[in-house]
Structures are given as C-alpha cells and as structure tokens.
Structure 1
Amino acid sequence: MNIIEKYKSISVQARAAIWFSACSILQKGISFIVVPIFTRMLTTEQYGTYSLYLSWLQLLTIITSLYLYFGVFTNGMNKYDEDRDRYISSMQGLTLTITAVVFFLFLIARNTWSSILGLAPHLIFLMFIEMAVTPALSFWSGRQRFEYKYRKLVAVTLCKSAVNPILGLILVSLAEDKATARIVSVVIVEFCFCGVIMVYQFIKGKCWIDKNYWKFALGMAIPLLPHYLSGMILNKGDQIMISKMVGTSAVAFYSVAYNIGMLVQIFTNAISNSFTPWIYQRIKVDKYERIPETINMLMILVSGISLCLMLMSPELVLLFGSSGYASAAYVIPPVAASVFFIFLYNILSTPQFYYEKTSFLMTSSILAAVINLGLNYIFIKKFGYVAAGYTTLVCYVLYSIGHAVVSRRVMNEYMPGRKLFDYKCVIGLSVFVIVAGIGCNFLFEYRVARYGLLAAFAILAYIKRDLLISNIVGLKKK
C-alpha cells in the first residue's frame, strides 16, 4: 500500500488532524520567514511600534471578543447543533456590539487612550477595525475544525498567510511611515478575508441578537475572562511595560528575541498533542508503569532543544534581526528556558485536568500575572529590557511548582500509591535548565565552545536516536 492509498484509508478525523497540524506549522513558518525581512526594512523604533501594536491588539481582543471562539464556542456547537448558523451569527453580533461599546469609549477619550497604549490615535482606530472583523474568521475556522472540513480552512489560512507579508512588503517599501504601512497591510488583509466571511455568516444565520445564545455565551465567558487576561498579560505584558519604562526600540529588541525563544514551542506543542491522549488512555486503563520514564525522556528532549536554542542565540538574533539587535541575544536563554517550564507545567497539571480539578488554574494564572507585573516594575527599571526575560522565567518556574503541589494532592486523593512523575528527574532537569539559561550568556563570546557543545549534543542525540524515536512514535501510535 503506497502513501496515497494509506492516506485515503484513514478516517476523515485523522486526515483533518494531519492537515490542521500541517497548516499550523506552515502558517508559523511563513510568519518566522518574513521577520528578518521586516526587521531590516523598519527601524528598531518602527518595528517596536508594530510589535507594541500587536501586543495591545491581542490583549484588547480578549475584552472585545471575550474569546467566545474558544471553549464557549465548542460547547455552543454541541448544544445548538441544529441551529449552528444562527448561533454563529448571534456570536458575531455579540462581539461586534462589545467592540462598538469599547470603540465609543475610545472616541470620547482618544488622547487618554493614546497615552495609555503608547500608540497614535490612527493606529488605535486601525486596531478596532481589526478587532471588529477577526472574530468572524475564528468562528468560521472553529466550525470547520469541529466538522472536520479541512480543505476550505487550509486554503483560506494559507492564502491569507501568504498575502499578508506580500502586501506588507509592497506597502512598507513605498511608505515613509513604515510602521503604519505594515499595520495597514495587516488590517487590509484581515478586513478583506474576515469581512467577507462575516457577511457570509450573517446572511446564513440572519441573526444579530438572540437572548438565549447571548446569555449562554456571556455566562460561560465572563468567569473565564480573568484567566484569559492573566495569561495574555504574562505573555505580552513585558513588551507593554518595556515600551513605558525603556522605549519603543527596546520593544523591538525584546520582541525579536522573545519570538526566537518561543520557537521551542513548535516542538513542545507537537509533543503535547500526542502525549495528552496517550497519558489519558494509560490512566483510564490503570497502566502507570511506562508513564514516568516516558515523561523523563520527553523532558530531556525538550530541555536539549531549549539548550541548543540558547547556545545559538547570537547567530539567531543576527538572522532574524541584524547586527543592531545583538544585545537581544541575552533575552533568548531565559525565554527558551521558560518554554521548558511551560511544557513542564502542562505535563504536571495532567491529573488536574483528567479529574476535572481545575479551580487552581485561574488562581495560578492571576497570581503569575500579578507577580510578573511586580517583578517587571522592579527589575526592568533597574536592569533594562533584558530583565523581562528572567522575570518571565521566574513566573513560569513558580507556576510549575504550584501545579506540581496541587497535582500531587489530586493524585493522593484519586490515585493513591500510583506514580506519574519522577520528581527527582523533574527537579534535576529544572535546575539544569535554569542554570543553562543563566550560564549560556557567558558563552556568547566563545563560539568554539558553543559549537563544541552543540556538536556533542548532536552526537548524543544520534547515538540515542532509536530511544527518542521509539518514545515519540509510541505516543503517536496510541
């Protein structure tokens, strides 16, 4: 049986999963490919303005959309399965109504908003256009995934991902205000794609307000708002505070470094997508014997990838930025280390999700965001924008410790005597990653030493390739 025949023989759910994963990787790949181009076309201050715009956009979108296209949407698709067109149409009406209210508040105090956000009023106006239309595409995409209709979604996503940078390159090359030109290019693409889908869904659903649907959505979304906001503050609050305390150019440096550090998430997300169903199945059938050793191997793999990224920080900054971004290399090690702890707390929280004991999730998110803001205020003022990478690392370390403690209590209650985690290995690798996140900074000037370590890790990975492959393939088979 050849590859095509094998592909045709698998279920539509499996085919959809393959295409959704491939689409996500290609979309992120295109985004990363164009970063070096725009960092060279825009000054650091202009790129910083663009990065700051994106940070505020993601934060304010939580308020204007309430993230109704996440968990709330899936529940609605199940609950109102015979009236999905009308449900989606009413959700669009709700997000547009909220956006209109927030926009009115902007109009009556434009200068105040501009001062708080650190953006010119015309950029904030563009932001509201984008916030008004983008939920439509998210609702449509959610429905395509829910119904396993991957062809249209893949086509639209890849087309939009390609058009965005192409139009951006054209407008930026022609404009003097290149930051505004880049933002305008993004808004035009979003308005064209999302606007068409919005009109289409309104025509199909023929509904702006449905009291029952609105009540259901608001009842589920509003309690989750602190959790979503806290998570976004933890991710984007650094850049906003850097713009206020250091300057717009520093936002550009931090943004480029942060995005490079987060490259590790491409691997961790792929691993998590396979790991979660595997461990759920093992717990369900009461087979725990392979879980700790598999988790250990995955943690070693992620820590190794994180370390390699740390060691290549100077070269990656030169690739994605330019020589003018050289100081940003010192942000990458703590951010790459943070990704290890993001992966770790997702693993450690598995018992909480399996037994639906997730009350700690919201509390921990809020605490982490508050601690992050406090540490940023103290250390960015004292040490500059590089400190934000380490405050982020501290918060994710504390986040992981909290989840480890809570999960241990859950396991003692629901699976006494069972072992999911090898805590000695967890602690050992955690200490190793933290030390590496600090120590790599002292190796940046010693290229031979860094390349020697990279070569050693590559040889070790090759020697242990069968063990690594067997673990990953074993997860995917399950």
Structure 2
Amino acid sequence: MKIRSKLCDIRDFYQSLSSAVKASLWFTVCNIVEKGIALLSTPIFTRILTTDQFGVYTVYQSWYQIITIFATLNLYCGVFNNGLLKFEKNRDVFTSAIQGLSTTITVTLFLVYLVSKDFWNSMLGLNSLYICMIFVELLFVPAYLFWSTRERFSYRYKKIIITTIIIALGSPLLGVVAVLNTEYKAEARVISYVLVQVCIGIIFYIFNAKKGKKFFDANIWLYALAFNIPLIPHYLAFSLLNQVDRIMISKIIDTGTAAIYSVAYSISMMMNIITNAINNSFIPYTYKKLKEKEYDDIKTNTNLLLVVVGSACIVAIAFSPEIIQIFASSEYYDAIWVMPPLAASVYFMFLYPLFGNIEFYFEKTKYVTIASCIGAIANVILNFIFIRFYGYYAAAYTTLFCYILFAFAHYFFYRKVLAEKIKEIDNIYDIKFIVVFSVIILFIMIGMTLVYKLILVRYSIIVFVGFIAFLKRKMVFSQIIEIRKK
C-alpha cells in the first residue's frame, strides 16, 4: 500500500508540473538515454574492432564536429531559436528557408572538396569514402535538428522521445551487425552510423520542405548569415577544445593511440550530461537572484554544487582502472593514465560557465568568444609541442590546463562585468573557496595517479573519504533540498 501511495504521489506531482517543466525533464532524459546507450555500446565496439579501426571511427566523429561548423554554420543553434521568435507568423517558411541555406552551404563546401580532394584527404587523414559520408550526414542531419529544436521550442517532447530511442538503439545495433559481417570493419562502423542518421534526417528534410515550401528567402538568409557568421570563432574554438586532441594524436602518432585516448575521453565526458543538467537548472535560479540582488544565496549554493560535481570527478579519478576495464579490452588499459586529468577537466568545465552565466545575463557575449578562442588556441599550440615529446598522455594534461585557463579567462571577464554592472559588491561567488577546492581536486588527481598500482593504499583512501562523506551526508542532503525548494 505504501508503494502504491508513493507512486500515486509521484504521478500527481508530475501531472501538476507545467508543460515547460515536463518538457525540460523529458529533454534531459532523452539526452541521458542517447549518450548513455552510446557509452554502454563502447565496450562492445572496443572488443570487436581493433584499436586502429576504432580510432578511424573516433577521428571521423571528431572531423565531423569541426566540419559541421563550416558546412552548416551551426544554423540549428542560436539563430534558429531567435528566428522562431522573429518570424513567429511564418515559422514553417523560416524553417524551410534555413534548411535551404544549410543545404546550399554544405553542397558548396563539398564542391570545394571535390576540386582538390587529394589535398583534403591528406590534411584530414581520411579517405574519400569517409569524407563523402561526412557530407552526406551534413546534408540531412540538420533537418532533424531543425525539427527537434522546433519541438523543444513548443514544449512538445513525445515525438522527440521516439526518435531519440530509434537513433540511440539503431546506430549501435546496426553497427554490431555490420561490423561482424564484413572484413571492412572500420568502414562498416562509420557507414552503419551514418545510415541511421541519414534515414531519420531524410524524413524530416522532406517534412520541413513540404511544410514551408521555400528553399530560398533573401531576407531570412541574410538574417541568418549576419547572426551566425560572427559566432563561428566561438563555435570553432569550443569544438577544437573538444575534438582537436584526438585529431592531433592520430596525425602525430597513429589512429590506434587516438582510439585509446578517445575511450578515456568519452567516459570522462559522460559526466558532462549531469553537470550540464545541473548548470542548465542553476541558470534560471542565478538570473532570478541577480535580478533580486540576493547575491549571498548564489554564493552559498554555488559552493555546494561545486562540491557535488567535484566529488563525482574524484570518484571517477579514484576508480579509473576499474572503469576502463569495464568499458574496454586490455588493449585500452593504458588509458587509465589519462583518465585523472580528463576527469578533473570536467570539474573546470562546470566551473567556467558559472562565470560565463554572469556574462550572458548582462549580454556581454563577446567576452565568451574571446575566452573560447584563448582556450582553443592554447590547446592546439600545447598539443603540437607536448604530444611529440610525451605522447598522447600530454593531450589529457593540455586539455586540463586549457579548461583551467578557460576558467581564468571567464573569471577575468566576469570581474569586468561586475565592475561595469554591479558596483555595490566585490564578488558574487566565494572565490577563496573556489580556489582552495580547485587546488584540492588537482592534488587528489595527482595523488590518486601515484597510487594506481598500489591497490591496497588506493582502496584505503577511498574507504576513508567515503566514511567522511557518510558522516556529512545529512548536511549535504539538507542543502540540496534547500536548493531544490528555491
């Protein structure tokens, strides 16, 4: 009876939520399902593909993310949301025209590739088959993203749930079947992945085109280009921070080594699903408190969130050897040495948007672009220098350093914004606590790395830290409940 009563309470609570909150909840669930299934399929592919074959797939994914910026201008990002408001009475026409612009740019860039394909194949480290697959994917996948963005904009989530499940399950299932039934395993993995994406994309490409019936609209095209072209440095810089490590490792060392690094990177970055969800939920709270000038509440609750995120990163660092063994075969075990800095990077990836949120609140977006460029340029330069001397291990530490640099850059601009916009206080955040706790994270990262081979020592430390956390659990939970209430 108690269980039934509890389920009824949960149902009643869910039904009482607004459509916006329900949609936000389901979009988060979709994101977790999609990324979670991709992560859970990793142990399968790392065992049925060699490191070189898996490395080709990871390099393909990395180049796809970077080429997307130039071939689509990321038109499904900021400009599309703004355009849905600006062209509120003609959303179907706007969607169809934006899709037409994306198609035109993609086809133009593909023609540029065909003119000198040998040069581009050599530069990218991929043959013509893979690059053609990139452009096929870029031609149709944006159509799905335009549609899903419109659904999210209108708080419609049921169809997105269905398509997310189809894509999330279809890609790994078809991939396993394809890889097991051919000698061309790397090609099979890429083509099977693209096939699922394109089949979904074609459906929505036709749907968007038929509803809007407009491929070209000068007004809409000029508006979109004027909005998104200045953002290319920001999109490119952020993409480089996330992708350039694997590309440079494959170019300087080999694709097999890139695959080993990619496994550790993918596992570490899975924590971003949780940290992004926390940050996305914390943004409205931060904005509300800024508007009401209740700065102390922001400071207190930010400290708690940093402890929660930092603790999750520490757990990942502490159990890195076991996590790698679960998700990959023995060929990838060397990745345990890059897991600590990559997991620590997740903490700083959560830290820098806290400062960035203040910049966005006061519409100082140029600072965001500058900070992104600083981090990306530093990452490329440091990788070029240190990967040659210290191998792929260096890429993990340059990533960590660049996200720390990213946080410093955003802190610098955050202080400039405070000086311009909020002169009555010196700081919104508890900077002393943030610095001390960040240093603790780095020391734990170094300490755990040193005792990876000393299993008894490592587990003794884990048990001790776990015991302290257990003693402080009531205080932590009460603070979390307080944040949820606010």
What is the TM-score with the length of structure 2 in the denominator?
Answer: 0.96
Which residue of 2 is the match for residue 426 of structure 1?
434
Q: Distance in 2 between matches of 1:86 and 1:291?
A: 42
* SS of aligned partner of 1:420: coil
Q: Distance in 2 between matches of 1:477 and 1:17?
A: 18
Q: Distance in 2 between matches of 1:420 and 1:350?
A: 12
Which residue of 1 is the match for residue 9 of structure 2?
2
**Conserved? CA contact 1:333–1:436, under 8 Å:** no
* SS of aligned partner of 1:82: helix
CA offset digits 1:298-341 (Å, max 9, x no partner):
11222111111111111111111111111111111111111111
Which residue of 1 is the match for residue 109 of structure 2?
102
Which residue of 2 is the match for residue 243 of structure 1?
250
Which residue of 2 is the match for residue 363 of structure 1?
370
* SS of aligned partner of 1:39: helix
Q: Distance in 1 between matches of 2:274 and 2:482?
A: 16
Say whether 1:474 aligns with 2:454.
no
Q: Distance in 1 between matches of 2:466 and 2:150?
A: 42
CA offset digits 1:116-143 (Å, max 9, x no partner):
1111111111111111111001000000
Q: Distance in 1 between matches of 2:242 and 2:287?
A: 28
CA offset digits 1:176-229 (Å, max 9, x no partner):
111110111111101111111101111111111110110000000100001100
CA offset digits 1:155-182 (Å, max 9, x no partner):
1111211111111111011011111101
Which residue of 2 is the match for residue 229 of structure 1?
236
Say whether 1:18 aligns with 2:25.
yes
* SS of aligned partner of 1:83: helix
Which residue of 1 is the match for residue 471 of structure 2?
463
Deviation, structure 1 residue 274? 2.1
Which residue of 2 is the match for residue 118 of structure 1?
125
Say whether 1:347 aligns with 2:354.
yes
**Conserved? CA contact 1:330–1:386, under 8 Å:** yes
Say whether 1:262 aligns with 2:269.
yes
Which residue of 2 is the match for residue 45 of structure 1?
52
Q: Distance in 2 between matches of 1:270 and 1:100?
A: 35
* SS of aligned partner of 2:88: coil
The equivalent position to 2:390 in structure 1, one of 383, 386, 411, is: 383
Which residue of 1 is the match for residue 451 of structure 2?
443
Q: Distance in 2 between matches of 1:95 and 1:62?
A: 11
CA offset digits 1:419-469 (Å, max 9, x no partner):
421111111112122223333221110112222222233333332223323
Q: Distance in 2 between matches of 1:471 and 1:158?
A: 35
Which residue of 2 is the match for residue 372 of structure 1?
379
Q: Distance in 1 between matches of 2:155 and 2:96?
A: 20
Amino acid at match of 1:304: S
Deviation, structure 1 residue 290? 2.5
Which residue of 1 is the match for residue 320 of structure 2?
313
Say whether 1:415 aligns with 2:416.
no
Say whether 1:186 aligns with 2:193.
yes
Q: Distance in 2 between matches of 1:136 and 1:193?
A: 9
**Conserved? CA contact 1:274–1:475, under 8 Å:** no
* SS of aligned partner of 1:68: coil
CA offset digits 1:351-403 (Å, max 9, x no partner):
21222223211111112111111100110000001100000111111111121
What is the TM-score with the length of structure 1 in the denominator?
Answer: 0.97
Amino acid at match of 1:384: G
**Conserved? CA contact 1:271–1:472, under 8 Å:** no
Amino acid at match of 2:111: F
**Conserved? CA contact 1:144–1:150, under 8 Å:** yes
The equivalent position to 1:392 in structure 2, one of 396, 399, 403, is: 399
Q: Distance in 2 between matches of 1:268 and 1:365?
A: 19
Q: Distance in 2 between matches of 1:370 and 1:289?
A: 36
Deviation, structure 1 residue 475? 3.1
Which residue of 2 is the match for residue 132 of structure 1?
139
Among all aligned residue pairs of Structure 1 and Structure 2, give the percentage whose two residues are the same amino acid. Answer: 40
* SS of aligned partner of 1:148: coil
Which residue of 1 is the match for residue 4 of structure 2?
none
Q: Distance in 2 between matches of 1:449 and 1:297?
A: 28
The count of residues paired between Structure 1 and Structure 2 equals 478
Say whether 1:453 aligns with 2:461.
yes
| CA RMSD, Structure 1 to Structure 2 (Å) | 1.4
